[in-house]
Amino acid sequence: MKKLFALLAALAIAAASFSSCGGGSESGGGEEDTFNVDGLVVSAITAHSGDAITWSVLQSKGPQISDLIRLTSGTTDYDCKITAATGTSVTFTLNASIKSGTYTVYVVRGTKIVKKGTCKVTIQSKVEITPAAGTTVYGQVFCGDDAVKGVVVSDGVLFTTTDEDGIYELASEKANGYVFISVPSGYEPESNGFQAKFWNTLTAEATTAERSDFELTKVDNDNFKLLVLGDMHLANRNSDRKQFYNCTDDINDFAEENSTSKIYGLTLGDMTWDVFWYSNSYYFPQYIADMNAKIPSNIKFYHTIGNHDHDMNATGDWNTVTQYKKYLGPNNFSFNLGKYHFIVVDDIECTNKTASTSNGDYRSYNEKVVTDVINWVKKDLTYVDKTTPLIVASHAPLYYQTSATGSGANLTSLSTFLACFSGYTTHFMTGHTHKLYNIDKLSNTTTPHFEHNSGAVCAAWWWTGKLTNSSNPAAGLHIAQDGVPGGYFEYTITGTDIKWVFHATGRDNDEQFFTYDMNNVDLSSNTNASAYASYFSGYAKNTVLINVWDYDPSWTVEVKQDGVPCTVEQVYNYDPLYIMSYTANTNNTTFNPSPTYHLFRVVATNESNTLSIKVKDRFGNEYTEEMKRPKAFSTSAYCD
């Protein structure tokens, strides 16, 4: 194995001079002053000493080309010369003497200095590589002083694997502008804040041979926790960010309670809302800043692209993902955790021929996995044994429900897409609908699979949130159109065993359903809600509805009154609480109630008896309520 790289790195550091761009002064950052560089987005650095580093700039408020970037550790400063400064980015040369570590970041302007945050710097060691003719992207994957063999590397089109020296080469056309590794089990990539940094951006011309290395850390992740977050829709409006912090508070509590476990995060798209990228100046950089500020540092997140993460001021399927790739990385990629292989795909095909010129949402798209992506998935799976269980994440769902147990194809390319996974056992994790439902096809002999359509962190786009807002008359209860609270999923994966539970934001996990005493539900007296009154008009007196949020056919719902079992009937209907918490209070019809199959109906014998309700999930966990009737019905009655 070529361990020459460690010697070369040591020689490079020893030879470096201590100038303004290579110095190690003892000023400890200097005396802080203030000037306007509010737009600088400080990011983690993984590079070779002397590399060019580019950071994003927001609102043309970045450093000037005459400034310096100063990275300070203790009392030692490493000054870096800025070589380019535009309204959207700043590029500087990484000090040749700097070592791996955590640094305070300053911008120096003459005698003034202003602090801009902290960043982790990882200096990669170089092994000498002479790429073959035709190679345009090459590099090494290593862990400490050791090369990592057999790592799958892709540019989103081509694939290769690292050799015994951890070296790879690709004759890439660089069309996607990135190269990434399918992180192998037993390892973790570097972090860029809360993001798992498994990709590198390519900056050289398409025909220029460009080096891109990856450093891994060895970990034991055969057993791990996975947090799956669907549809956040952060746009800096309707108090969405403040409400979102309730969710991140729960994630922090989860991380503390599971401090001895490896924890990873996976989003399911629509982290942002393209309609407000430009008018509210909130898109990926601001989202990243919020997540870095609120997400525990020991959780690495992987992202899925959603339809609202496409740029509405661009056209076509290719151009609308440019911003996403710039900030969140590949829109199609894979990685491994423990015994599971993960594949993340973009199943939104943008078809808009003209860009939007206003805040109107002119996005036109198909919910489809296009042919190029299907071909990429097929190639990826040639490196994965059929005995390896899969988790596949996409934004738009594969199916829609046609009955309590039936389903129809939602993706226009569903049959072709599913054919990729023949012989594998696959869990599909999807979002987009803001609803929660499950499609269990694990008994399918050719392609056993289970789709988790995972609800939304934002519920019904934050409008029903608990924070009072003068422009939000529906403020009070944070639920979605099918009556499920905003929240996310917690998965526990032990070897190949997988279990999950829905976590409603701000609630304990032993709360998995709502109950409604229909004697006290009056929709007819409200003009907006009355349109839905007829859906309940045939219900007998003393009817009780139970909305079991994450129900699938392996769950059971039992009800007893005075120790005697009641008849429980699964029904397809609207959730009355959503109607009263949102529809009744607003004329906005964008988020009309959605009927759901996870409703159950019981008729009690009188209006004041107590019902003993027991719901059991597919893993044997029981959730209970002693429902004392009459039970009040109002949004405040269901707030946690």
Summarize pLDDT for 32-60 with one digit per residue, the tens. Answer: 566 888 888 898 888 877 889 999 888 77
CATH architecture of 137-181+198-215: Sandwich (2.60)
Strand partners, 40: 57
Locate all alpha helices (DSSP H) within 305-370, ordered by sequence. 316-319, 322-328
Distance of alpha carbon 392 from alpha carbon 4, whole angstroms: 39
CATH architecture of 4-123: Sandwich (2.60)
**CB-CB contact of 317 with 357 (8 Å):** no
Same CATH fold assignment for domains 4-123 and 137-181+198-215: yes
Q: State pLDDT tens for residues 423-476.
A: 999 999 999 999 999 999 999 999 999 999 999 999 998 877 754 545 555 556
**Exposed (0-12), middle (13-18) or buried (19+): which is 541, by Cβ within 10 Å?**
exposed
Domain boundaries, the chain: 4-123, 137-181+198-215, 223-504, 513-638
Average pLDDT over the chain reads 90
The CATH superfamily assigned to 223-504 is Metallo-dependent phosphatases (3.60.21.10)
> In what helix (H) or strand (E) does residue 72 lie, and over which residues does it extend?
strand 68-73
Residue 279 confidence (pLDDT) = 87
As a dihedral over the C-alpha atoms of residue 427, residue 226, residue 151, residue 165, rounded to 10 degrees, the angle is -160
Q: CB under 8 Å, gap of 24 or more: what pairs does 468-474 form?
A: 469/238, 469/239, 471/238, 472/238, 472/239, 473/585, 473/586, 474/581, 474/582, 474/585, 474/586
Segments of the chain scoring below 70 in pLDDT:
1-34, 125-126, 356-362, 466-476, 640
Map tokens 């009955």 to a residue.
403
Quick check: bond before 630 cis, omega within 30?
A: yes
**CB-CB contact of 600 with 404 (8 Å):** no
Residue 360 confidence (pLDDT) = 54
Distance of alpha carbon 412 from alpha carbon 570, whole angstroms: 30
The helix-helix angle for 284-294 and 240-257 (nearest 10°) equals 40
Distance of alpha carbon 468 from alpha carbon 307, whole angstroms: 29
**CB-CB contact of 198 with 183 (8 Å):** yes
Residue 1 confidence (pLDDT) = 44
